[in-house]
Amino acid sequence: MKFDVLVAEIGSTTTVVNAFTNLSIDPTFVGQGQAPTTVLDGDVNIGLSNAIDDLRSNLGVDSIDYNELLATSSAAGGLKMTVHGLVYDMTAKAAREAALGAGANIHLVTAGRLRRSDLKHIENIMPNIILVAGGVDYGERDTAMHNAEMIAGLETKVPVIYAGNVQNHDDVQEVFEENEKSSLLYLVDNVYPKIDVLNVEPTRKVIQDVFEEHIIHAPGMSHVRDLVNGPIIPTPGAVMEAAKLLKEELGDLIVFDVGGATTDLHSVTDGSEEINRILINPEPTAKRTVEGDLGVYVNMLNIVEQIGRDKLIQDLQIDAETLEKLIETHPPIPKTALQIKFVERLTLEAVVQSAHRHAGAFRDLFGGSGKTRMAEGKDLTSIQYIIGTGGALTRLPNRVEIMQEVAKSNKGNKLLPTPEAKILVDNDYIMASLGVLSKEYPEAALKLLKKSMKLI
């Protein structure tokens, strides 16, 4: 059986392959296969081939053929980055927003001139990409220049993106040439070109391009191009691409992706005019946050502690002994009614907590004229749609009710969505795949997104 496109999601533990056909006429999601990821075996293609074979078995066909194979990847630690700016609340924050929105896992953020200890941390982290920013255009130059020089002098050969003061471009280029690393340098428009102006999209695009160019050198990924003949982008970045595509069609939205280890939240909104008038600092239109302590399997105990055992016993209507047994025997995929109820309570906590961390809030400032109400952080009050993807929010029975709790949890001071926001579910669990598909087939990806969410 032949398909237009297969899209592989190469995760840290599982590789999933989704099959799509009729992309130019009536885009159709045909089926899915999965297998354990084989990065640790030294060749990710083993798991990828096994997932394709599982797809063949699930469809009951003799063979699988395709025109293109695209991929998203969070294997081998995903996209590890370090970010270095001038002032934490300004250029460092802008650079961080650019990296997160591209799908990166940020392991280090620094502000100001790099120190020896910072350089040691960078070398220990062994990032896939280093991002250097600092200074508005035609403003402060020395800090970003110093940091570029220090990074160029490292023994590690890591791609470096410079997205700081444009006046430094020629000097940064010269420094990397002197260190015989010009092939590793990427010069991009400033992420913070003027005070209170963010320009993160050019950097996000380059981050994904650099990731695709260099991912084939990661452990276990060296043969990935033997099978994958289309784009490869970080899995969280693919979800963001799908969210941005959907926003153009539906309006302002947020996407929750609750996983076993982390919870990602993507928002695509400029916020309301009312809040923008009192906003202290600018926020990107498309923003991603990742909560590394909010996972319903690997980090299940973190959520248990946040809720509290007594509260869990009360909410689940069980005794302490039953709760401890639930925790000790917690499987990656719940099967019994009580296990499902337990995971739903964990997911509810992950969704509400991640929303509160992502959203901004009102702040009262006191000055000579008295108290003034201002706002700080991401404004989600104009959100029209709340979307759930990932295993938990596409499979749990009460997934819609869980997402409805976001608006209900607002005590009045947070810039959260209102109860009027509609709930949508990525029923086919293909949002990440459609994000990478949208790189080449945006119209087909949009139709498939709407089909998965039962909008058509």
Q: Report the CATH number that the domain containing residue 61 is assigned in CATH.
A: 3.30.420.40
Who's near 26: CB < 8 A, 6+ residues apart? none
What's the pLDDT score for residue 84?
97
Within this chain, do residues 34 and 154 fall inside the same structural domain, yes or no? no
What's the pLDDT score for residue 305?
96
Percent of the chain scoring above 70 in pLDDT? 100
Which of 152, 159, 212 is CA-nearest to residue 177?
152
pLDDT mean over 38-43: 83
Instruction: Tell whether the model's pLDDT for residue 40 goes beyond 90.
Output: no
Pairing of β 286-291 and β 385-389: unpaired
Pair 81, 106: CB distance under 8 Å: yes
Lowest-confidence pick of 89-93, 243-247, 440-444: 89-93
Instruction: Tell whether the model's pLDDT for residue 456 goes beyond 90.
Output: no
The Cα-based distances of 92 to 54, 131, 133, 199, 289 in angstroms read 44, 10, 7, 13, 15
More confident position, 290 or 370: 290
CATH code: domain of residue 396: 3.30.420
Give one DSSP letter per residue of 272-305, joined into a string: -HHHHTTBSS---SEEEEEETT--SSTTHHHHHH
What's the pLDDT score for residue 38?
87
Within this chain, do residues 193 and 222 fall inside the same structural domain, yes or no? no
CA gap 202, 109 in Å, rounded: 20
Domain coverage including residue 209: 79-215
Within this chain, do residues 71 and 88 fall inside the same structural domain, yes or no? no
What's the pLDDT score for residue 13?
80
Pairing of β 2-10 and β 361-367: unpaired
DSSP state of 417: P
Residue with tokens 């990924």: 221
Within this chain, do residues 90 and 48 fall inside the same structural domain, yes or no? no
Q: What is the count of structural domains for the chain?
A: 3
Within this chain, do residues 128 and 157 fall inside the same structural domain, yes or no? yes
pLDDT digits (tens, 9 = 90+) for 93-132: 999 999 999 999 999 999 999 999 999 999 999 999 999 9
CA gap 162, 168 in Å, rounded: 9
Within this chain, do residues 152 and 301 fall inside the same structural domain, yes or no? no
Helix-, strand-, coil-residue percentages of the chain, each rounded to 5: 40, 25, 35
State the pTM of this model. 0.92
Lowest-confidence pick of 76-80, 96-100, 334-338, 448-452: 76-80
Other CB atoms within a 10 A radius of the CB of residue 302 amount to 17
Please give the biggest Cα pair distance in the chain.
78
CA gap 281, 420 in Å, rounded: 27
What the block records as the tokens of 315 is 């909410």
pLDDT digits (tens, 9 = 90+) for 231-268: 999 999 999 999 999 999 999 999 999 998 899 999 99
Instruction: Tell whether the model's pLDDT for residue 368 goes beyond 80.
Output: no
